[in-house]
Amino acid sequence: MPTQPSFLRRFGDSESVTGWVLASPAVILIGVFGLLPVLMSLQLSFQHSDLLTPETPWVGLDNYRKLADDPVFTQSIKNTIIYTALFVPGTMIVGLLVAAAMNRSVRFISVYRTAAYITMAVSTISQGIIFLWLTDRDYGLVNAALNSVGIPSQPFLASPSQALFVIVAMTIWGWTGFSVIVYLAALQGVPAELHEAAAIDGASAFTRFRTITVPLLGPANLFLLVWLTINALQLFDEVYVTTRGGPLRATTVIVYYLWDRAFIHFDAGYAAAMAYALFVVILIVTAVQFRVARRYVHYS
């Protein structure tokens, strides 16, 4: 009598069946509301759809070809690259400095750590509203501070040359708490004996930080680099709340332009093609980051 394949035997075990039964609601939800829409949007990227009529004629690769000739899409790529190049290292540097300052035993340190992380409890919509108030040309606290030292009020989010940088500052503020927690956990895993030995040899605090602490933060750096890059490439909420693409499309990033094409201009097929182009870019960037990290990141 032929033996049953091992994977079927495992699946037939009572524990496996129970596990699948318990997991089935989540699997069904993910399949229906996660995987199925992804597949439907992939199909949509090869069609023309205005989201209003049932006709969705097949257009093949036309939506993807349009991307290369769309000056607004080109501008959105440029804005996204600038934003990512400033936001990712800025958040990592600020987070590392704050975490290093809090990686010590002082009075009320738990209060300081909570204050550093509290920005993560503020929604992106709330962050946008806060910065709209702070940078308001007539009533904002930032311009009031500038006026007090003789500097005229600035348009900030209403300026084509300033708006994107304000959004960078706003999102760095919002994500610093997350990077602080990651770096603080990594810093507490650095062996104290290494610092003690280096201190005995006469190494300064900065030298110990540069030669001992920073190299051991490789896994944390890689995690934050990948995570923050993916989030930066998908920037939307902050732009939608504050500038709606900005004057002269100065803050029109890829995801905002995608939303604009889909739900303002009702060109859903083109928007879907844009979404999958971004998906491929994220995959490539992430793969490159992991490949490069093999040389510089050492896991204990």
pLDDT band at 111 (very low <50, low <70, confident <90, very high): confident
Sketch out the chain's domains with CATH numbers.
6-44 (no CATH), 66-296 (1.10.3720.10)
| 58 SS3 class | strand
| pLDDT tens digits for range 194-224 | 888 988 888 888 898 888 888 899 999 999 9
258 close to 213: Cβ distance less than 8 angstroms: no
51 close to 203: Cβ distance less than 8 angstroms: no
CA distance 142 to 242: 16
pTM recorded for the entire structure: 0.90
Give the model's pLDDT for residue 9. 55
Give the model's pLDDT for residue 5. 57
Give the model's pLDDT for residue 109. 82
| pLDDT tens digits for range 8-54 | 555 556 677 888 888 999 999 998 998 999 999 999 999 999 988 98
Q: Bridge-partner residues for 202, per DSSP?
A: none
pLDDT greater than 60 at residue 4? no
The residue-averaged pLDDT of 231-256 equals: 95
- Crossing angle for the helix pair 124-134 and 141-148, nearest 10 degrees? 30
Q: Which of 49-63, 196-210, 265-279 has the lowest mean pLDDT?
A: 196-210
158 close to 251: Cβ distance less than 8 angstroms: no
CA distance 157 to 239: 10
**Count of residues in the chain:** 300
CA distance 218 to 92: 12
Give the model's pLDDT for residue 203. 87
| pLDDT tens digits for range 120-154 | 888 999 999 999 999 999 999 999 999 999 999 99
The residue-averaged pLDDT of 236-243 equals: 96
pLDDT greater than 90 at residue 176? yes
CA distance 244 to 17: 50
Question: For residues 194 and 2, which has the higher predicted lDDT (pLDDT)?
Answer: 194
Mean pLDDT of the chain: 90
Rounded to 5 degrees, what are φ and ψ at 178?
-65, -45
Question: How deeply is 234 buried, as exposed, middle or buried, from its count of CB atoms within 10 A (0-12, 13-18, 19+)?
Answer: middle
Per-residue burial over 187-208, b = 16 or more CB atoms within 10 Å of its CB, e = otherwise: beebeeeebeebeeeebeeeeb
| pLDDT tens digits for range 72-96 | 999 999 999 999 999 999 999 999 9
